[in-house]
Amino acid sequence: MTAATDAAAAAPSARRRGARIGSGVASYLGFVPAILLLGLCFLVPFGIIVCYSFWETIDYAVVHHWTLDNYRYFFSVSAYVSTMWWTLVVAVIATAFAIGLAFPFAYWLSRYSPKRLRTVLLVLVIVPFWSSYLLRVYSWLTILGQQGIINRFLQWAGITNHPLGVFLYDRPAVILVLVYLYFPFGALTLYSSIDNFDWNQLRAAMDLGASPLQAIFRILVPQIKPGIITAIIFVFIPILGEYLTPQIVGGTGGVMIGNLIANFFQEAEYTRGAAISLLVAAFIVLLLVIFRKSLSAKEAYGA
Amino acid sequence: MTTVPTLAEQASPPTAAGIELRAVVKRYGTQTALRGLDLEIRDGEFFCLLGPSGCGKTTTLNLIGGFVGPTEGEIWIQGRRIDTLPPHKRPVNTVFQSYALFPHMNVFENVRFGLKMDRVPRDESAARVREALQLVGLEDFGDRMPSQLSGGQQQRVAVARALVKRPAVLLLDEPLGALDLKLRQRLQIELSQIHRDVGTTFVYVTHDQEEAMSMADRIAVMNDGRLEHLGTPEEVYRRPASRFVADFIGDSNFFDATVTGDVAQLTDGSRVGCAGGRNGPATLMVRPEAITLGAGPTSISGRVLQTSFLGSYLRVAVETSSAEEPVVVALREGSSVPSVGDEVSLSWPAGDGIVLEPPE
């Protein structure tokens, strides 16, 4: 694709070269800011990470000595590997809940909510973004913590006489907060793809004998598949890299791969941290390649 | 079905009618869409609900289809009460105005969808889909996607998709509304043919009187949530039950009159023949083609305002002192053509002067 674009851009400039010297270069001038930004802020750091992951750390210093030890080390420690698996499990569950809640919300919003209320509700979905991410995670401590709202209520209601610690510092708390944090991404993405849907099709499906749920899953869902996949990408991939939420509400049980990476870098184990980062990045690229294939299915009937 | 008949239902056994609406009222908030509709549609009939937008015809269709529930009243289909059933449990299928084809399925899958929902075995469903596509002349289009079809073809797929389930009743919601005139006329003929072939009861909603006249066995003319007239196209045209029906279907001339027996006295004092039926103040309605030029036993006189050649007939507008609006006369070929400004006499057979309720 890049090659084709380059060729297309180069062809006219080649023809004009005789008339105006330097126009070939000029036609690329527009790309310069983007190339600088992408190069300085993405490619260079990424290159450093790649190199680090194949170098060694000796006495808190990175030594330019090529090796696969960082990767071998990661897979040799079972706690790390299991953290990686648990990260995947947590991310899958949190994504499932976030999308599972976002879909009915988006459905209701675009089909049943009164037009005037719709804008208000959409703004309400976005409102959390106006406050700091850190603040939003910390606020969950005041809900789930020992002195939190839930514990106070349970004690007030006489259900328990001492504060319960089960709400915080484990995976369920991490999942809960992640669902809360990423619900808006899912809801907005799904809403924008459901909003164009012709609801007569659901009526037609029910007229032809489909139950309401069958109509939704056989008629609506296949048609908004690209939107659903986009929503999953927007939710699942950032969750894979989460480290603040598990650090604040996850305790020791809720550790995710992001915390491992952060720890390695804090302990100046740059090369090992870089190797895990690359493993996560490689996994995400793999996912995107798979999703890209299903995304292209929309061209089958989009014409 | 699972519904247990109540005492009231047992007390009034259903008739053999295909569809029966009993005292059906539908209110949306403070708006009343139907004001107590009683309607009997016979089995196998091509039935048209005709009226201007907002008259309640689409509401009636949606009530039969199950997309809205009645506020009051009952709906029966072939001896079964259905107004309490959800749409997917009614022996009714619908052809939607927008077709509502599923864009992610090809024509074959679209038509098969209803059979899949009924868990019809694959072999049988494939055969029935082919049969249905053949019925609408699209047997070679099974692999196409809806977006690759013309409007008329999409409409036929919608018909096949609804008929493949062999419903007791096929509901059609202005299915030709989006098509151009020529195609509409061709599809009218095709729909009539399909109706004869399958023998299913068709309930067809339209605001186009010509469409209703050309296809329907019987027409229900509706206005403002009420049934104005129910009858064959000929009855509705020749003996309209109200001024609204006469005005809505075809061209008509109206005169304010006072009727005594079969004589109507018009506002200018002239006396003309009429079919009678009621005495006292009335509206006299005469169709343009019933009027001939030239003095008869009873006639009114006027001056020709305009003559227009309209292909199959000549339309003459005549200013008279008997009516506020010019009287419109449709002359068949071969009649002598008057010139603008001519003084003419207009007469009609007494039986063609229809006496209707006077305006309020």
**Chain B nearest-CA residue for A222:** B104
Which residue numbers of B have CB closer than 8 Å to A's CBs? 65, 67, 86-88, 92-94, 96, 98, 100-104, 113-114, 117-118, 145, 147-148, 161-162, 165
- Write down the pLDDT at residue A297: 52
**Sign of the C-alpha dihedral, residues A160, A164, A167, A170?**
negative
Q: What is the C-alpha to C-alpha distance for residues B155 and B183, in angstroms, rounded to an integer?
A: 11
Q: What is the C-alpha to C-alpha distance for residues B127 and B138, in angstroms, rounded to an integer?
A: 14
Q: What is the band of B205 on the pLDDT scale with cuts at 50, 70, 90?
A: very high
| Helix, strand or coil, per DSSP, at residue A126 | helix
B221 neighbors B50 (Cβ within 8 angstroms): yes
- Write down the pLDDT at residue A23: 65
Homologous superfamily, domain A70-302? MetI-like (1.10.3720.10)
CB contact under 8 A, B87 and A203: yes
Residue A61's alpha-carbon distances to A53, A54, A68, in angstroms, are 13, 14, 17
Distance of alpha carbon B290 from its chain centroid, rounded?
Answer: 23
> Which is more confidently placed, A171 or B295?
A171
- Name the minimum distance, in Å, from the CA of A230 to any CA of chain B: 19
Structural domain spans, chain A = 1-53, 70-302
- Write down the pLDDT at residue A191: 94
Structural domain spans, chain B = 251-356
Backbone phi, psi, residue B24, to 5°: -80, 125
CB contact under 8 A, B88 and A211: yes
Whether A207 and chain B come into contact, CB under 8 Å, resolves to yes
Nearest to B94 among A207, A223, A300 (CB): A207
Which of B47, B53, B51, B52 shows the shortest CA–CA distance to B77? B47
Which of B136, B170, B189 shows the shortest CA–CA distance to B45? B170
pTM of the full structure: 0.76
Give the model confidence (pLDDT) of B97-109 as tens digits: 889 999 999 999 9
Domain B251-356, CATH among 2.40.37.10, 2.40.50.140, 1.10.490.10, 3.40.50.970: 2.40.50.140
- Write down the pLDDT at residue A21: 54
**Chain A nearest-CA residue for B164:** A208
Whether A201 and chain B come into contact, CB under 8 Å, resolves to yes
Mean of all residue pLDDT scores within chain B: 88
Q: Is the pLDDT confidence value at B6 over 60?
A: no
Q: What is the band of B358 on the pLDDT scale with cuts at 50, 70, 90?
A: confident
DSSP labels for B233-293?
A: HHHHHHS-SSHHHHHHSS--EEEEEEEETTEEEETTS-EEE---S--EEEEEEE-GGG-EE
Q: What is the C-alpha to C-alpha distance for residues B73 and B90, in angstroms, rounded to an integer?
A: 17
Average confidence (pLDDT) over B336-342: 85
The four Cα atoms B36, B38, B44, B49 give a dihedral, to 10 degrees, of: -50
- Residue B332 amino acid letter: R
- Write down the pLDDT at residue A163: 73
Nearest to B104 among A200, A214, A301 (CB): A301
User: Which residues of chain B does A216 touch, with a Cβ-Cβ cutoff of 8 Å?
Assistant: none
B24: left (phi over 0), alpha (psi -120 to 50) or beta: beta
- Write down the pLDDT at residue B102: 95
- Write down the pLDDT at residue A13: 46
- Write down the pLDDT at residue B333: 74
Q: What is the C-alpha to C-alpha distance for residues B201 and B44, in angstroms, rounded to an integer?
A: 4
- Write down the pLDDT at residue A288: 87
CB contact under 8 A, B100 and A210: no
β-partners of residue B76 are B20, B81
- Write down the pLDDT at residue A295: 65
- Residue A58 amino acid letter: I
Q: What is the C-alpha to C-alpha distance for residues A194 and A202, in angstroms, rounded to an integer?
A: 12
**Sign of the C-alpha dihedral, residues A188, A190, A193, A197?**
negative
Q: What is the band of B17 on the pLDDT scale with cuts at 50, 70, 90?
A: low
CB contact under 8 A, A207 and B65: yes
pLDDT tens over chain A, length 303 residues: 344 444 444 444 444 444 555 567 777 888 888 889 988 899 999 999 999 999 988 877 888 888 888 899 999 999 999 999 999 999 999 999 999 999 999 999 999 988 888 989 999 998 888 888 888 888 888 888 777 788 788 888 877 777 777 777 788 889 999 999 999 999 999 999 998 899 999 999 999 999 999 999 999 999 998 899 999 999 999 999 898 899 888 888 888 999 999 999 888 888 999 999 999 999 999 988 888 776 665 544 443
B180 neighbors B26 (Cβ within 8 angstroms): no
**Chain B nearest-CA residue for A201:** B100
